[in-house]
Amino acid sequence: MESVTTGDVTMAMTGTTRTTQTTNSTRTTQRRRSELAAFLRGRRARVTPADVGMAPGLRRRTPGLRREEVAQLSGVGITWYTWLEQGRPINASAQVLDAVARTLRLDQPEREHLYHLAEVPYAPDRERAAEVVGAEIQGIIDALDPRPAVVYNARYDILATNPAYEDLFSIPVPETMASRVPNVLWSLFTVPEPECPLVFRDTELPIMVATLRGAYGRHVGEPVWEEFVRVLSEASPRFTELWESGDVIPPGRRVKTFRHETIGELRMTSVSLSVNGMPECRIVVYTPDDDESSRRTTELWELRRSRSQDQKRGQGQDRDLNREAENPAP
């Protein structure tokens, strides 16, 4: 009887313990959501429209950004962000939290705090890892040859190319001081105009700077971005002029005319494709816009193949000469 009673009591205690644990877990989650809501409101209040390149507007009753402005700059829905700030039980991905953190100009400890409150694992090098091009993406752009293709991030850093792209942009593309990777904007603004592969430079460069400016609003205050803008402004008065105009446009389809020292001009259509798992990165593919450009694109590919074959033959001849030198005839 006692054993049964003890068992019943034990079972009751076990059930009570589980109920208590569930209740405590629910209360902890509710406290996290409440703290998350307060944290987001506080950080939103300290970021002004001027901080993110926006006009202040009239009759603003909030000391910082409005919720809809944070949502717009972060690339998320207004309702979703409102619910996040209200502490409602919604799921948040790492990519979305990254975007919100950039808009609110959070430093690393604040970002980590945001992830913990949202119950999302925090990875300090997530953004850098997102810009590492895997073998699958490299294989895709290689397979597009003889169509030039490149992977850019929002700053126009060159993350991957195929040989046809290197033929098209037949100028040195140096690493920038800010990102330590090759950057096409840096090259186009610092190369002498006669050597620039863009025929209509005065038309194309403003579009590229306006595209850069559109992405900059999500990265205001970030050291790499600020250093990039500062150093390029110092190197190119033309970039400074275009940057200060404040024009903004999104990436999209463009028709560009390139010059090549061997085959002449190519009129190419550029199309931007987003890449899953690589936020703010895109594949840009260039396709001929007319029959003559298509013919010249093929000619450029054949020229490269011929040079490659000549190089292989030369290497083979060098190896034969080395073997003869090592093993002279008796």
Residue-level length of the chain? 330
Distance CA 53, CA 247 (A): 11
pLDDT band at 5 (very low <50, low <70, confident <90, very high): very low
Dig out the tokens for 305 from the structure. Answer: 């193949």
C-alpha–C-alpha distance, residues 255 and 269, integer Å: 4
User: Is 95 in contact with 281 (CB distance < 8 Å)?
Assistant: no
Q: Is the pLDDT of residue 21 over 60?
A: no
Of 251 and 245, more confident: 245
Q: What's residue 325's pLDDT?
A: 61
Closest CA to 184 of 195, 172, 201: 172
Structure tokens at 141: 């752009």
Q: Within 10 A of 253 (CB to CB), how many other CB atoms are there?
A: 8
Mean pLDDT of 117-123: 78
Question: What's the confidence (pLDDT) of residue 14?
Answer: 53
CA dihedral 43, 46, 47, 50 (to 10 degrees): 180
- 178 DSSP 8-state letter: T
Contacts of 14 (CB under 8 A, 6+ apart): none
Domains of the chain: 2-124 (1.10.260.40), 132-313 (3.30.450.180)
Q: What's the rounded Cα separation, in Å, for the pair 136 and 289?
A: 27
What's the mean pLDDT in 77-103? Answer: 86
Residue in the structure block whose two tokens are 């939103």: 44
Give the DSSP H/E element, type plus range, for residue 159. strand 158-161
Beta-carbon contacts of 68 under 8 Å, excluding residues fewer than 6 positions away, are 78
Helix ranges, 217-290 (H): 223-235, 237-245
Q: How far apart are CA 263 and CA 266, in angstroms?
A: 8
Q: Tell me the per-residue pLDDT of 300-325, one tens digit each, with 9 for 90 and over.
A: 999 888 887 766 665 655 565 566 66
Closest-CA residue to 68 (of 38, 103, 114, 112): 103
Q: What does DSSP say about strands 158-161 and 149-152: parallel, antiparallel, or unpaired?
A: antiparallel
Burial class of 259 by CB neighbour count within 10 A (0 to 12, 13 to 18, 19+) = middle
189: confidence class by pLDDT, cuts 50, 70, 90: very high
The torsion angles phi and psi of 64, rounded to 5 degrees, stand at: -125, -140
| Sheet of strand 264-274, all strands in order from the earlier edge strand to the far edge | 158-161, 149-152, 282-288, 264-274, 254-260
- Measured at the alpha carbon of residue 324, what is the angle toward residues 318 and 330, in degrees to the nearest 5? 170
- pLDDT at residue 3, as a whole number: 45
Mean of the pLDDT values across residues 159-177? 79
